[in-house]
Amino acid sequence: MGKFLKFLIVFIICGYTSSVFAQNVVLRGKVVDHELHPVSSANIKIVETNQFGVTDKDGKFNITLYNIANVSLTFEFTFIGYQKLVKVVEIKGNIIELGNITLKDLNLGLETIDINAKRDYQGSSNSSLIISRDIIEQIPALSLNDLLNQIPNRKVSAPSLQSVQNLTLRSAFSPVSPGFSNIYEQNNAFGVAIIVDGNAISNNMNMQTFNPGLRGSNDISTTIGIDSYGLNGSPTNKYSGDFAFGGTDLRQIPADNIESIEVISGVPSAKYGDLSEGAIIVERQAGKSPGYLRMQLRDNATSYGFSKGFDLGKKNGALNIGANYVNSFADNRDKLKAYKRINLNMMHTNFFGSENRLKNTFSVDYGRNLDGIKRDADDPMEKMVLFNSWNFSVNNRTSYGINSKFLKNISLNLRYATGHQVSYTEEFYNEPYILVSEATTTGIHEGAYVKGIYTAQSLIDGRPLNITGKLDFNAEFKFANITHFLSYGASYSYGANNGLGQVLDPGKPRGLTKTSGTTSLSPNRSERYYDFSTAVAQQDVGLYLEDVFKMSLFNKPLNVRAGIRYDLQNSFPSFSPRINVNYELDKGFRFGFAYGISYKSPGLGQRYPGPTYNEVPLINAYSSNGKANESIYLVYVNRYDPTAEGLKSANSQTFEFSTQIKLQKYNLSLNAFYKNSRNGIGNNRVDNVLDLPVYTATYRTDQQPLLIQTGTKRALITFYEFANNLASNNQGFDLILSTPTYKAIATSFNLSGGFFRSQSKTENLTSQGNPNPSATNKNEALVAFYPPSNSVSYTGNARISSTTHIPKISLFIQAIAEFSLVQKTVNLSRAGIPIAYYDQNYNYIEIKNFDQNNPNYGFFYKPTSELQANNVPVIIPNFHLSIGKEIKKRLKFSFNVYNVFNYQPYYIDSGLSYRYPNQSPTFGAEISLKL
């Protein structure tokens, strides 16, 4: 690390001390609209050097480039409400007159608008998929998640806010039982970075979960009742609004003010750290703009949004404000399950200095989410659950242009983010009495008898705090007649959680941890209060260096983006080399190769999950007259304190081949990849067999019974700990084929799809308990163990969309036919054959030669049909429709229907159950007014 840091310092010093002045170039021009009216406050960005400019009140700009010549630079001209214009300029001579730069008003009257996302090597990675504002305007969206339906090989889902929305990239997953989550899917989503305006929206400090040591981190859902509380079409009676150990919940990010999205599913730029599966880079609107008022009405939600950018004058810059409110129900008939969200944001942008070389953007964001299920009058347990939160962030981005021959720009990005998360459950119990213990040390303790009529209240209070800083340098130099655009910098992240934690009263336990007043003395899980603020703050450091250059190879352009990144995460150092190369044989054919390694830091909840408690009742000598003072309850309490020592960052190694073919306005892009993911964070099951005393009681009047130890008994306690025990190999491809508009029918077509294969492996044995143990056969298996999970999952999806666009009447109609081609998981033939078991005396017995007819364990055999019960044996089609119409370029109406034909194909699984994979039709309408 020391050598790498010294290397960066040398670059910084060189940037300031270089005094050899090369040619200075002045670029002049004027930004106008289609009627040649000047566009003031239009933003100008030089991509290669990360420098910025802005037009004056007459739309004119004058940009001086110091010490740079004989190179091609990419200029981006943007203004809210207009199509982005990209122009490549050859820097030659002292003065370059660009003339009028015409921006087109973004509306359906344009001859050409983007309706589908495209991949054309214009992003920061060969795999970059660009979703521009043109596309965003045409998509009905309640959150960022709905805009990502454009990703190839991703099923189209209707806008909804009734479940946590995590994003996974380039992997296939096996289905899991209702109420559980796929641990590999969790890891994939956790490894996808969500970057908004240059800042990562980190989920690392999210600790909103019951203790994962009780049942593992993939079984933390809250049971909500037998009838699923109006979750329309839901196959499960479990729901959780928490998303610890997974990715950021995309429901929190509104879509109204998003300017562009770059989806990197392959090898990202070296400047992006703390990721292992890819990145979503979101740029929001900033600067002067007209006012926009939007309202969306859906069958299960209503959404209202407003945004406007104000010009505060030449010296005061521009102020952009936005507000969004969403109210959503799972079922409008009972409105038991609801999700509400409000978002407010303010962004101030200003330029300073005579040449506007200093740009500063200050932003403030506030969001509040109310998610939960109200009491159902028909539920005897009167259960209710709440998942409420608010978040607040302040961000300042400063960029300064440098007059150095080497160094061109310095930018500093500082962010402070905090929030409050509340997860609350409440349920009523009516029993004679319960047995409780509040002991927090390992050993035998006397418990207490508590009334069994009570309301169990469970509160998880989290208050995540994240402070980040990024310092970036952009430089340019020539070597061997090749111009290199160099970027390098450092990042620092501090994260903590100052919440009250798991506020759980062991005297009023919830169902999972409750010991009823019966004769059963079986081991049971237990919970205690855990203060999140005791977790040691997380501090991660990153350094990066990246070079972007273009060279000629056999007289054809070769584009290279190569870099290396150093990270220090959880005290473990890592180096991540990354390279994206593409070669342009001609204007119609280009291919590329990418390779990279990425690391994702463990989350705070994985580093410090808190102590795990198990209880084994030893004797419950309850007086026949019901007097507590003549009774006694002894319990063995086991406390386990997990440690984060040795927990490494999850990492992935990616190889990618990409190609693009353009032929007479037909455009085909294809990406094939191999991704090797290692050190995924899963759960280790830890069993501990104990020899504990057995007592008999002699009852006495007005005093506790007399206890005499008569022997010992064996007991099994189980807990889970985090470990780097997951691995997966992922291969596949995705493609996008777009056609030109056929003028006779004013229609263009787009085909996208893909196929992914994922082999997922873990080092742990899997287990299953005996639901009906024998009362007489003590040799019968109580818990069976199977070989470590090793399965191969396949997923393949395709969709064909037709877009009819008639500019003269400002109308577009898009029809989508999507097909689920493959969805299956194949397990090894031995996956259903147990290899060991615990008998009822907790003796661990290995099975060397499995006998299905053995009465002690043969019933644990799982046939192949059971292991593959959720595989989909047929192709499942679905159809969607969207229509948009503009009136006088100010008022826009749109209407959309998902599963427009109410097509409900079905298949019969291996368990002879009917499966209907398509959702019921859902529809919505949106009105947008440009003020």
pLDDT band of 178, cuts 50, 70, 90: low
**Residues 155 and 15 reside in one and the same domain:** no
* Strand 876-887, strand 891-898: pairing: antiparallel
Give the residue from 36, 78, 71, 81 showing the smallest Cα distance to 55. Answer: 78
Per-residue confidence band for 235, with pLDDT thresholds at 50, 70 and 90:
very low
Does the pLDDT of residue 233 top 50, yes or no? no
- List, for residues 580-589, the tens digit of each pLDDT value: 999 999 989 9
Query: Quick one: tokens of 766?
Result: 């899997």
Question: Which of 72-81, 536-545, 705-714 is predicted with the least confidence, judged by mean pLDDT?
Answer: 72-81
CA distance 40 to 443: 75
Q: What is the pLDDT of residue 257?
A: 87
Query: Which of residues 58, 77, 105 is at a domain's end?
Result: 105
Query: What percentage of the chain reaches a pLDDT higher than 70?
Result: 95
Write the CA distances from 623 to 111, 256, 616, 628, integer angstroms: 87, 66, 20, 7
- Shared domain check, 114 and 12: no
Q: Chain centroid to CA 859: how far?
A: 40
- Is residue 123 domain-shared with residue 35, that is, in the same domain? no
Mean pLDDT of all residues in 855-860: 93
Mean pLDDT across the stretch 840-850? 93
Helix (H/G/I), strand (E/B), else coil: 628 = helix
Determine whether 914 is exposed, middle or buried from the number of CB atoms within 10 Å of its CB (0-12, 13-18, 19+).
exposed
Lowest mean pLDDT among 29-43, 139-153, 680-694: 29-43
Task: Identify the three-state secondary structure at position 84.
Answer: coil
pLDDT at site 237: 58
Report the pLDDT value the prediction gives residue 232, as an integer from 0 to 100.
45
Mean pLDDT of 127-139: 90
- Rounded to the nearest angstrom, the gap between the alpha carbon of residue 673 and the centroid of all alpha carbons in its chain is 21
Beta 876-887 vs 811-827: how paired, if at all?
A: antiparallel
Q: Clarify whether residues 296 and 281 are in a common domain.
A: yes
Alpha-carbon Rg of the chain, whole angstroms?
A: 31
Residue showing tokens 């795999």: 127
pLDDT greater than 90 at residue 4: no
At 186, the pLDDT band (50, 70, 90 cuts) reads: very high
- Residue 725 and residue 862 share a domain: yes
Residue ending a domain, among 105, 129, 163, is 105
Do the beta carbons of residue 526 and residue 504 sit within 8 Å?
no
Which range is least confidently modeled, 60-69, 795-804, 897-906?
Answer: 60-69
Pick from 525, 513, 422, 504: nearest CA to 458: 504
Same domain, 173 and 113: yes
pLDDT at residue 811, as a whole number: 92
Between 41 and 232, the higher pLDDT residue: 41
Q: What is the mean pLDDT of residues 8-35?
A: 64
Closest by Cα among 101, 97, 96 to 23: 96
Domain boundary among 73, 105, 137: 105
> How confident is the model over 572-615, as pLDDT tens digits?
999 999 999 999 999 899 999 999 999 999 999 999 999 999 99
67 and 142 part of one domain: no
Give the end-to-end CA distance of the chain in Å, rounded to a whole number. 54
Per residue in 574-608, is it b (16+ CB within 10 Å) or e — as a string?
bebebbbbbbbeeeeebbbebbbbbbbbbbbbbbb
User: Is it the case that residue 19 has pLDDT exceeding 50?
Assistant: no
Backbone angles phi, psi at 632, to 5 degrees: -150, 140
Residues 869-913: tens digit of each pLDDT:
678 888 999 999 999 999 988 899 999 999 999 999 988 877 778
Rounded Cα distance, 227 and 235, in Å? 10
C-alpha–C-alpha distance, residues 168 and 183, integer Å? 12
**Cα–Cα distance list, 809 to 110, 292, 805, 891, 894 (Å):** 10, 21, 9, 13, 14
833 vs 24, which has greater pLDDT?
Answer: 833
Q: Please give the average per-residue pLDDT across 797-805, as a whole number.
A: 95
Q: From residue 174, how far is each of 98, 100, 149, 546 by CA, in Å?
A: 55, 55, 21, 37
Range with the lowest mean pLDDT among 1-5, 390-394, 621-625, 891-895? 1-5
Taking CA atoms, 223 is separated from 219, 227, 464, 743, 808, in Å, by 11, 11, 26, 56, 55
Range of the domain at 835: 106-930
| Identity at 664, one-letter amino acid code | Q
Measured from the Cβ of residue 420, the count of other Cβ atoms closer than 10 Å reads 16
Looking at residue 108, its pLDDT comes to 84
Task: For residue 433, give the 3-state DSSP assignment.
Answer: strand
pLDDT in the model for residue 624? 84
Same domain for 91 and 171, yes or no, is: no
Kindly give, in sequence order, each residue whose CB lies less than 8 Å from that of residue 772, ignoring residues fewer than 6 positions away.
Answer: none
DSSP code at position 919: P
Q: Cα–Cα distances in Å, from 878 out to 148, 155, 661, 895, 919? A: 18, 10, 29, 18, 9
Residues 6+ apart with CB under 8 A from 187: 650, 677, 680, 681, 682, 726
Residue 852 burial by CB count (10 A; 0-12/13-18/19+): exposed, middle or buried? Answer: exposed
Please determine, for residue 22, whether its predicted confidence score (pLDDT) is greater than 80. Answer: no
| Confidence at residue 17, expressed as pLDDT on a 0 to 100 scale | 43
In this structure, which amino acid lies at residue 9? I
pLDDT in the model for residue 222: 62
Can you give the CATH number for the domain in which 453 is found?
2.40.170.20
Q: What value does the mean pLDDT of the chain take?
A: 89
**Mean pLDDT across the stretch 294-303?**
92
Kindly state the tokens that stand for 562. 């190569």
Name the residue with higher pLDDT: 531 or 377.
531
Residues 706 and 774 in one domain: yes
Residue 624, classified by CB atoms within 10 Å of its CB into exposed (0-12), middle (13-18) or buried (19+), is exposed
* Residue from 616, 764, 639 nearest 695 by CA: 616
Residue 540: is its pLDDT beyond 80? yes
Q: CA 626: distance to chain centroid?
A: 53
Per-residue model confidence (pLDDT) at position 396: 96
The per-residue pLDDT for 239 is 77
Output the pLDDT for position 751.
96
Q: What is the dihedral of CA 283, 286, 289, 294, to 10 degrees?
A: 50
Query: Do residues 758 and 804 both lie within one domain?
Result: yes
Q: Say which DSSP state 7 is in.
A: H
What is the band of 805 on the pLDDT scale with cuts at 50, 70, 90?
A: very high
Residue 408 confidence (pLDDT) above 50: yes
What does the pLDDT read at residue 393?
97
Of 235 and 76, which is predicted with more confidence?
Answer: 76
Q: Mark whether 335 and 470 lie in a shared domain.
A: yes
Together in a domain, 99 and 117 = no
Domain count, the chain: 2
| Stretch among 130-139, 539-548, 797-806 having the lowest mean pLDDT | 130-139
Give the pLDDT band of residue 179 (cuts 50, 70, 90): low
What predicted TM-score, i.e. pTM, was given to this entire model?
0.91
pLDDT at 306: 95
User: How many CB atoms are located within 10 Å of the residue 119 CB?
Assistant: 25
User: 438-495: per-residue pLDDT in tens?
Assistant: 999 999 999 999 888 999 999 999 999 999 999 999 998 888 888 899 999 999 999 9
Q: What is the 3-class SS of 455-515, one letter each residue?
A: EEEEEEEECEEEEEEEEEEEEEEEECCEEEEEEEEEEEEEEEECCCEEEECCCCCCHHHCE
Q: What is the pLDDT of residue 242?
A: 86
pLDDT at 231 over 50: no
Q: Where does the pLDDT of residue 647 fall: very low under 50, low under 70, confident under 90, or very high at 90 and above?
A: very high
pLDDT by residue (tens digit) across 341-389?
A: 999 999 999 988 877 889 999 999 999 999 988 877 777 777 888 999 9
List Cβ<8 Å contacts ≥24 apart for 839-842: 839/778, 839/779, 839/780, 839/781, 839/782, 840/773, 840/774, 840/777, 840/778, 840/779, 840/780, 840/782, 841/714, 841/778, 842/689, 842/714, 842/715, 842/716, 842/782
- The CATH number linked to 64 is 2.60.40.1120
